[in-house]
Structure 1
Amino acid sequence: MSIRTDNLTWKIGRKTILDDVSFEAKPGQMLGLLGPNGSGKTSLLRLLAGLKKPHSGSVTLEGWDIKSIGRRAMAQRVAFVEQHAATNSNLKVIDVVKLGRFPHRSMFSGWSKADDDAVSEALDRAGMSEKRDDRWQSLSGGEKQRAHIARALAQSPKELILDEPTNHLDIQHQISLMRLVSSLPVTSIIALHDLNHAAMFCDRLIVMQRGKIVASGAPEEILTQDLLRDVFSVDARVETSPHHARPHIHYLR
C-alpha cells in the first residue's frame, strides 16, 4: 500500500466538491485520474499532497494518516507538480531543481555531495542535464515542465503527484513527458484530459464525475463507449488490438 483514501469528503462552504472518495494507489504503479472539468480532480490531488484538509475521511501513507505527518516529512516523501507551476525569476535550471532539496536540509546544514548527486540524477532522469545552466526564460514549455519534474524528483519522493502536466504542450512534448513519468521508479498519480494518453501509459485509472468515483480499474476494463458517452458526453469507438491490450479511442463526429 502506498497512498490510500477512505471516505474522503471535502467542501467549499455548503458545496460538496469530493464526496466519499475511497481508493488505493499501489506502489510503483501509475494511476491516472480522469473526469470532466469540475469533477474534483485537482481538489483530490491537493488533499493527497497534504495541501488541503478533508472535512471527513482520511488520506494515509503506508497506513499513517497524513495529518500526523509533519510538513517537512511529507515533502521528503511526496512531490507535487501543480498544473500552473511557475518560476517567476530568471534562474538557471539547476537552481530551480536545487529547490527540491530544501525538505532534506536543516537551517544550519551546508550543501552536501548527497544534494549534488540527487540534483544531478533528477536532471538526468528528466532529460535536462544539457540544459542545467540555461536560464528559465529561454526554455520551451516542454522544457519548463521537465524542469519542474526534475525539481520534484530532487526531493527523492516515493510518491509523485501531477496535475495535468501535459496541458499547453505540443504532441511531441506530451508523449515525451508521459513516457518520462511512466518510467520513473515511484508511485505516480496523474490527472489527465487526454483519454488515449491515459489508456497508453497508466496502469490503472480512476474516473470521477461530480466529486464521486464512477469507475476504477485497468484501462481496458473501464474505458467503454458507454462510459465515454455518460461521463464525458462524447460518442467514440473503443478499439483493442490482438497484439496490444491497451484500448484506443476513436472519436466520432
Structure 2
Amino acid sequence: MSIRAEQLTWKIGGKTVLDTVSLEAAPGEMLGLLGPNGSGKTSLLRLLAGLKPPHSGRVMLEREDVRSISRQSIARRVAFVEQHATTNANLKVIDVVKLGRFPHRSMFSGWSPADEQAVEDALEKAGMTGKRDDYWHSLSGGEKQRVHIARALAQTPKELLLDEPTNHLDIQHQIGLLKLVSGLSVTSIIALHDLNHAAMFCDRLVVLRQGRVVASGHPGDVLTEDLLKDVFSVEARVELSAHHARPHIHYLR
C-alpha cells in the first residue's frame, strides 16, 4: 500500500462534499478519479495531499496517518499538481522546476548536488530539458503543464496527485501528458474528464457521484454502459479490446 483513504468525510458548512470515501493506490499504480462536475474529485485530492483535514476518517501514507506527519515531510513525498496552478511569468523554466526542491531544503542550506540532480532528472522526465532557459510566458499550454509536472517531480515524490491536468489542452498534448504520467515510476492518482483516456492509461478507476464512491476496479469492469448512463447521463456503447480488456466508449447520438 502506498496511499490509502479510509472512510473520508468532508463538509463545507452544512453540505457534505465527501461521504465515507475509501480508496487505495498500490505502489507504482496509476489510479484514475472519475465523476461529474461537483462529485468531489478535487476535494478528495486535496485531502489526500494533506492540505485539508477530513471531518472524519483518515489518509494513510504507508502505515502512518498524515495528521501525525509534518507538512514538510508530506511535501517531500507527495506532490500535487493543481488544476489552476499559477507561476510568475518572469521566471525561467529552470527556476520554476527548482521550486520543487523547497521541501527538501532548510532556511540556511545551500544548493546541493542532490538538488541539482533532482532538477535535471525532473526536466528530462518531463521532456523539458531543451526549454530550461525559456521564460514561462513563452510556453504553450502543454509545455506549461509539463513544467508543473517537472516541478512536482523535482520533489522526488513517491506519490503524484494531479487534478485534471489535460483540461484546455489539444489532443496531442493530452495524450503526450498522459503517456508521461503513466510511464513514471511513482504512484499517481489523477482526476480526469475524458473517460476513454482514463480507460487507456489508468490501471484502476474510482468513480465518484455526489461525494460517494459508486464504482471502483479495472477500467473494463467499471466503465459499463449502465454506469455511463446512470452516473454521467450519456448513452454509449462500450467495446472491450481483445487482449487487455481495455474499454473503448462510443457515444451515441
Identify the TM-score tier after normalising by the shorter chain. Answer: over 0.9
Distance in 1 separating the partners of 2:93 and 2:112:
19
**TM-score normalised by the chain length of structure 1:** 0.99
Q: Indicate the residue corresponding to 1:60 in structure 2.
A: 60
Please state if 1:72 is matched with 2:85. Answer: no
Q: CA deviation at 1:2?
A: 0.8
Q: Indicate the residue corresponding to 1:89 in structure 2.
A: 89
Would you say the 8 A contact 2:216–2:222 is kept in 1? Answer: yes
Please state if 1:112 is matched with 2:101. Answer: no
Please state if 1:42 is matched with 2:50. Answer: no
* C-alpha distance after superposition, 1:94-129 (max 9, x if no partner): 000000001011111100111110000000000000
Extract unaligned runs of 5+ from structure 2. none
Q: CA deviation at 1:244?
A: 4.2
Q: Indicate the residue corresponding to 1:202 in structure 2.
A: 202
SS of match in other structure, 1:16: strand
SS of match in other structure, 1:27: coil
Superposition pairs of residues 1-253 of structure 1, within 5 angstroms:
1-253=1-253
SS of match in other structure, 1:245: coil
SS of match in other structure, 2:137: helix
Distance in 1 separating the partners of 2:105 and 2:242:
51
Distance in 2 separating the partners of 1:149 and 1:177:
9
Distance in 2 separating the partners of 1:238 and 1:194:
14
Q: CA deviation at 1:169?
A: 0.2
SS of match in other structure, 2:246: strand
Distance in 2 separating the partners of 1:241 and 1:204:
16
Show structure 1 runs of 4+ deviating over 4 A: none
Distance in 2 separating the partners of 1:56 and 1:251:
38
Q: CA deviation at 1:240?
A: 1.2
Q: CA deviation at 1:21?
A: 0.5
Q: CA deviation at 1:243?
A: 3.8
Matched residue type, 1:154: A
Matched residue type, 1:3: I
SS of match in other structure, 1:168: coil
Amino-acid identity (%)? 77
Q: CA deviation at 1:146?
A: 0.0
Q: CA deviation at 1:63?
A: 1.2
Aligned residues: 253
Distance in 1 separating the partners of 2:162 and 2:155:
14
Distance in 1 separating the partners of 2:206 and 2:55:
21
* C-alpha distance after superposition, 1:74-101 (max 9, x if no partner): 0001000000111133200000000000
Extract unaligned runs of 5+ from structure 1. none
Matched residue type, 1:241: S
